[in-house]
Amino acid sequence: MSCNENESGPFVVFFLPAVVGCLTILLARRWANSQVSNTSSTAVSRRRKIIKDPLVKRPLPPLACKMMTGSKKASGVNKKGSFPVPDEEMNGNGKRLGRPARSPPATLPNVGLTDMKLADGPVAPKHIPFPYIPQDGTFLFEAMTFVFTVVATGLQFLNLYRTAWWLPHSYTNQAMNFYLIDAHLVTFIGAIIGRKFFLCLSLAILRGLLAPKLMPHAYIAAKMFVLGVVLGVLTWCTYFIVLKYPLVKIFYLCYPAVIYFLLFGFHASPFLELNNGDPPLHCCTHDAAQIRTEVEALRQDFNVRMKKIIFNSVVGAYYSSFIPCCFAQSYLYYEVYAASQQTAFVWAGLFARYVSQLVSATYCDVPHRAALHLGRWKPDHNSSTEGNEVLPWCENRMWSRGARVTLNGRVYVANTPTVAAEPASVVHCRFHTVFANPSLLLCGMLCLQLSLIVLQLCLLFSSIQWHNFLAIVILLFINYYTLFKMVRDYLVAWKVYKAENMIQDKNGLHPVPN
């Protein structure tokens, strides 16, 4: 049997992940349909309630009073254009009481109703409740991420220090040359990739031992303790590493610290915690300035989350897959292509995991609601003065669809039913583009994760060595869980926002500009 080719192994291992992946997608779709069924019924009922116009009188039920035989006036049949007489204004003989009759309201055409609503202001967007989607707790997520990076580190060391232990005349009976692995380097890597997990484990133990009122003080003490321990271990390991390796490798070891200070400054919270703040909330308001302030706060929160996603995924792949290659002995021969492939797969897997946790469908619903209130403008290249009147843009006013304003010598037209954004702001335009329909963002992330899994499945059919084959299979099973979460979030978000768009279309009273 050849040690470099696998005749039946790839097909057997491919069949099991494929079956697991199909079952995962089917279960996620079935769960999403059951979760959204209640939301869909709520959306339909709310839609029926929304489209009722209070200015249009509904016909009253037929009168049940006793009428005189042969009397046309008391027959209860009204002439065309007349209004039915209320039940309490007639006596048993069909005669009206002395109560003064109310004058019927004037019949208004649809254009009059629209003009009246436009005069009062734009119609506020209607939100539908987003269904509850269970998310991984902080401890569970950090534990799974820690296991993921530890396994990735072991697989990379396997790529570097593997042996031919299965040969009959081999001088070793172990799969790796453990004596070539630096223990101080492994300890350094373990302290870096496990720092957040150690904090979550400490907090979980303290919650079981202390009263809830003591947890705020215990939380601060645990952070200081874990930070001190991690920095102490890193300093101790760095001292021994400096004695054995050249200075350029020490720069490789400490290079991510420079990136951290450039992104987060001298704050320790991003180093120890993935998300240390409360989730943002949305406040429905008709104040344009307050809407822009809320959008700015949500934009900054989203940027911080993206910084954490990129930094933590890069750091995890850097220390678990790249640093072992940098500190390999000069006389050691290894496949650069296999090591680079391992690093890329680990980074992509960590990036997907952090995205599914920090930018989930539940989180995206809050910026989506703010984006509906914010709206957007588009430049008006039509120089003719026909149509709506061009007004100077006012920062304290809400604008309706089709409104034309001027700012800094340029004319803009409102492109959404409600607009509170600044016409010349690229930030507001980008925010509305991203979060007007978050299901597109979730779909893009899902497509990237599917591409990663398909690429890994395709590599199983190629003629690769056993250690690379083992690394791909293990990373595949870990990526399937992230795929399940992304599929679930996308299906729920797609159905919810589809129902919301139907409500907005039914409730829209403003004409769409040509």
Kindly list the domain boundaries of the chain, sorted by start residue.
Answer: 140-376+438-507
What would the pLDDT profile of 423-467 be if each residue is shown by its tens digit? 888 999 999 999 999 999 999 999 999 999 999 999 888 767 788
pLDDT above 90: residue 29: no
Select the more confidently predicted residue: 357 or 172: 357
Select the more confidently predicted residue: 91 or 284: 284
Q: Can you say how many angstroms the Cα of residue 223 is from the centroid of all Cα atoms in its chain?
A: 28
pLDDT above 80: residue 115: no
| Per-residue pLDDT at 22 | 63
Q: Are 443 and 490 in contact (CB under 8 A)?
A: yes
Select the more confidently predicted residue: 467 or 118: 467
String of b and e for 119-138 (b: at least 16 CB within 10 Å)?
A: eeebbebbbbebbebebbeb
| Average pLDDT estimate for 255-273 | 89
Dist CA 137 CA 139 (whole Å)? 6
333 φ/ψ sector (left φ>0, alpha ψ -120 to 50, else beta): beta
End-to-end CA distance of the chain: give it in Å, rounded. Answer: 71
Lowest mean pLDDT segment, chosen from 51-55, 215-219, 411-415: 51-55
| Per-residue pLDDT at 139 | 93
| Per-residue pLDDT at 32 | 56
Share of residues in the chain with pLDDT > 90 (%): 39
| Per-residue pLDDT at 394 | 86
| Average pLDDT estimate for 307-313 | 94
Dist CA 268 CA 196 (whole Å)? 11
User: What confidence tier does 162 reach under pLDDT thresholds 50, 70, 90?
Assistant: confident
State the Rg of the chain over Cα.
33
265 φ/ψ sector (left φ>0, alpha ψ -120 to 50, else beta): left
| Per-residue pLDDT at 203 | 93
Q: Are 305 and 358 in contact (CB under 8 A)?
A: yes
Dist CA 135 CA 140 (whole Å)? 10
User: What confidence tier does 357 reach under pLDDT thresholds 50, 70, 90?
Assistant: very high
CA atoms within 13 A on the CB side of 69: 0
| Per-residue pLDDT at 154 | 93
pLDDT above 80: residue 292: yes
User: What confidence tier does 380 reach under pLDDT thresholds 50, 70, 90?
Assistant: confident
Dist CA 248 CA 77 (whole Å)? 99
Query: What is the chain's mean pLDDT, rounded?
Result: 78
User: What confidence tier does 116 reach under pLDDT thresholds 50, 70, 90?
Assistant: very low
Q: Residue 15 burial (CB < 10 Å; 0-12/13-18/19+)?
A: exposed
User: What secondary structure does DSSP assign to 368-423, as a single string?
Assistant: HHHHHHH--EEE-------SSPEEE--TT--EETT-EEEETTEEEEE-SSEE-S-T
User: What confidence tier does 18 reach under pLDDT thresholds 50, 70, 90?
Assistant: low
pLDDT above 70: residue 100: no
| Per-residue pLDDT at 388 | 64
* H helix and E strand count, the chain: 15, 6
In the DSSP assignment, the letter for residue 212 is G
